[in-house]
Amino acid sequence: MARADSPRHFYHDQSIKNVLAEFQSDLEQGLSAEKVAQNYETYGWNELTFKPGKPAWLRFLLQFNQPLLYILLLAGAVKAFLGSWTNAAVIWGVTVVNAVIGYLQEAKAEGAIASLAKAVTTEAHVLRDHQRLRVPSKDLVPGDIVLLASGDKVPADLRLVKIRNLQIDESALTGEAVPVEKSTELLASDTPLAERNNMAYAGSFVTFGQGRGIVVATANATEMGQISQSMEKQVSLQTPLTRKFSKFSRTLLYAILTLATLTFAIGLGQGESWVYMFEAAIALAVSAIPEGLPAVVTITLAIGVNRMASRNAIIRKLPAVEALGSATVVCSDKTGTLTENQMTVQAIYAGQQHYVVSGGGYSAKGEIFPREDQGASCHLDDALPHTLAECLLAGLLCNDSQLKQTDDDWSVVGDPTEGALLSSAAKVGFSQAGFASKKPRLDVIPFESDYQYMATLHDGEARTIYVKGSVESLLSRCDQMLNGQGQLIALEPSTITQVVDEMAAQGLRVLAFAKKEVDHHQHSVVHEDIAADLIFLGLQGMIDPPRPEAIAAVHACQKAGIHVKMITGDHIKTAQAIAQRMGISAAGEATAFEGRQLATMAKEELRNVAETGSVFARVAPAQKLQLVEALQSRGNIVAMTGDGVNDAPALKQADIGIAMGKGGTEVARESADMLLTDDNFASIEAAVEEGRTVFQNLRKAIAFLLPVNGGESMTILISALLARDLPILSLQVLWLNMINSITMTVPLAFEAKSPDIMQSAPRNPNEPLITPLLLRRILLVSAFNWVLIFGMFEWAKSTTGDVTVARTMAIQALVAARVIYLLSISQLGRSLLSYLQGKTKEITNAPFLIIGIVAAIALQIVFSQWSLMNHLFETAPLTFKQGLICLIPMLPMLPLAILANRIDP
């Protein structure tokens, strides 16, 4: 069967008649069985397709796809060809160890597309041949008429054709904080995704009402499918560290091959045997390759992972540890990331008095008090103002939702807006249970988008209709209001409108409340009952508030030189208000842009806006991805946070994708490099701190490892060109570069952070791995190591007459000097020097460093004194006197280390 995806068109700007005609469908009868079969042949299953992940064996083989390992593999092959199987086995063993470490630490979870497929797998009610059927969502085809009811998951993209009070939660797709009220009206072509109210999208949920829609897109052609495709096309980007390592490795590879080939050719030209020169070339190549560096980097990153986990940040992809530490921009979703994802009433206007509401979420914790500290807090035992009580009571009774407590967490069963009203009433002791018998509900007019209000009739001392809804719908029905003393006065619409504008400017969603007393014998309520003569009770303004700890985290990021940008699908005024509260943007700044503005921009203009803007609202999923790409094109290292399906492509594109591990969607979690287990933006600050510490420790490791390679390669090169005995053999080089280096370098990964780690600006993303200052340090110490190895070897050979003993002494002398150099670049050594100079009274505690040094010394004793090691590595046992002589180079290393620290502090 030929497979084709659904037509990729937009239907929000098409009339219902045209859509039905295009798909040859009937609103009352649905598709015929024949037409369903025909469409199925054309469009296939309503399932997302995705590429299978790489098999385990291929992922393991790809670990060898590193330029520096090519040389080792080739050198091992040549050694085996020449019959030196021991040498070949050791060389190959080094490459396998590196591959195993990388394989075990690599992130294996590539199930984001599978999670998307699962997200749209459900059952649907459809009309076919004038019959209502329940079918698996994968059987849906374009043209099907789907029936929606409260609690349903939308199975495909639908153009809505009939609705009754339909509300759909699209937060995972658009970032909209509250359910969207749907309509069937025709919309403009440039209407943003979040405002296409005549559409229902696959993977969203019906929270209220009923509806009917025609399937216009299935499988990969749905909005969810487009996200799937954009993720599938997106390559896995390298982090700054891996990019720099790749560039460094390629440069080093070319240099090593050039030097080895030149050495081999010059030696042959001088009459040396090709076997000797080949051994020298291999020894030179092996000595120049920092074999231990990949393993040290991996171990250092793994330690950083464990540290971050203890601070609520779980790393899924190892290089992301360092990438976060070098981030220059954090792009954050608003809903559920910077905010509580819980609507909260924060302002009330009742009885001509403004009130402030404290507390967050749906908990009853908090207080209601007059604005500008004009009075005492209002508790249940206080004299609660009559009009305020009436306003809160209207929100409590004219309400179809409930609050649910699980341990210390409160959640809403129903509409988040109604949950906020229940919470504000609870802060003065009002509860649904408490008024169930006092004012039982007799009838209700459910909320309808055509009327923009809800009304309930309650019994009690007086039979009362309570109404809540939009300000526009209620003001026209009111002619009186209650003043501060609970007395009826004439309504002042202009004053109310001014208060509404003030609340809206703060990003608050405003609801109005009113009541009307009716005859005690009335048992039902209809629209005519509330067409006029309502008494205005007040306003409640609510918002999904920012997390207090996230505000502090934003400030900390900005102090560290990291720009924070809000990218959301929510309304621009709400986004601006939250951004101003959090300090992301200042009041009056023209740095907020809408998705429809971004859609008309050329690439260069979009890049400029991405850099200068701080708030991006009503943004479609594809535009989130474009903004991340625009920032990266300007050299930024971008961290992207999010929790919804709509965030997944941007999370995958970003240098570091950060998902909510607790409240986020599975799709977002599978696409991210890092999860926040507490769903708290504040944990990002801690993760950045750890990431910077990781890079700081990696830089120490590089400064420690590379001078040994430099000294070894310089020694071998000069010895080969002068046709002298090699002071160090290729297998001995591997011992130094792998066993000794890893033992002494890994403790650097446990170094604590510097006190000023978050006071400096992010590193320049274009800064090379080996900076000029670091290169000077490496060259200086490399020259010392060359003199040390060459000098100790020549002296020992001339005094003992034994080349094997001379090589062993040269190696042990090098290790002894390395101990001093290791201390000099560690915090222990630096604090010890400050202590001796009287600058500090404490010495840094560094148990891992001490353990590493002791272990390295023990291994070196085994290396020279054990007969098996003598046989494998061509070493010789040393006398006590010879061992003491090997300690002499520690003395000149002291002033050299101090000089190196001044060159590259």
- For 124-145, b/e burial (b = at least 16 CB within 10 A) is bbbbbeeeeeebebbbbbbbbb
501 is catalytic: no
Q: Are 166 and 209 in contact (CB under 8 A)?
A: yes
884: its two tokens: 């003491």
3-state helix, strand, coil split of the chain in percent (to 5) is 50, 15, 35
Question: What's the length of the chain?
Answer: 905
Q: Is 239 helix (H, G, I), strand (E, B) or coil?
A: coil
What is the Cα–Cα distance from 4 to 38, expressed in whole angstroms? 12
What is the Cα–Cα distance from 787 to 817, expressed in whole angstroms? 12
The set of residues, in sequence order, having a beta carbon less than 8 Å from that of 735 and lying 6+ positions away, is: 811, 863, 873
Q: Which helix (H) or strand (E) holds 207?
A: strand 205-217
802: its two tokens: 């034994």
Query: What secondary structure letter does DSSP report for 740?
Result: I
What's the chain's Rg over C-alpha atoms?
Answer: 35
What is the Cα–Cα distance from 137 to 156, expressed in whole angstroms? 8
Q: Is 242 helix (H, G, I), strand (E, B) or coil?
A: helix
What is the Cα–Cα distance from 526 to 518, expressed in whole angstroms? 12
- What's the Cα-to-Cα distance from 819 to each of 341, 570, 812, 863, rounded to whole Å? 54, 58, 11, 17
In sequence order, what DSSP letters do the residues of 645-689 get, joined into one string?
A: GGGHHHHHHSSEEEEETTTS-HHHHHH-SEEETT--THHHHHHHH
- What's the Cα-to-Cα distance from 16 to each of 12, 117, 292, 735, rounded to whole Å? 9, 29, 67, 76
- What's the Cα-to-Cα distance from 687 to each of 237, 303, 310, 322, 681, rounded to whole Å? 20, 13, 10, 10, 10
What is the Cα–Cα distance from 510 to 501, expressed in whole angstroms? 9
- For 66-100, b/e burial (b = at least 16 CB within 10 A) is bbbbebbeebbebbeeeebeebbebbbebbebbbe
What is the Cα–Cα distance from 230 to 624, expressed in whole angstroms? 12
The set of residues, in sequence order, having a beta carbon less than 8 Å from that of 248 and lying 6+ positions away, is: 768, 769, 770
What is the Cα–Cα distance from 508 to 440, expressed in whole angstroms? 31
Catalytic annotation, pick one of 157, 333, 570, 647: 333
The set of residues, in sequence order, having a beta carbon less than 8 Å from that of 750 and lying 6+ positions away, is: 303, 846, 848, 849
Cross-strand pairs, 349:
354, 539
Q: Is 209 helix (H, G, I), strand (E, B) or coil?
A: strand
**First-to-last CA distance in the chain?**
67
Q: Are 36 and 141 in contact (CB under 8 A)?
A: yes
Measure the CA dihedral 800/801/803/806, to 10°: 20
What are the counts of helices (DSSP H) followed by strands (DSSP E) for the chain?
34, 27
What is the Cα–Cα distance from 158 to 161, expressed in whole angstroms? 9
Give residue 794's Cα distance to chain centre. Answer: 56
The set of residues, in sequence order, having a beta carbon less than 8 Å from that of 219 and lying 6+ positions away, is: 5, 6, 43, 44, 45, 46, 47, 48, 49, 225
> How many C-beta atoms surround the C-beta of residue 678 within 10 A?
15
Active site residues: 333
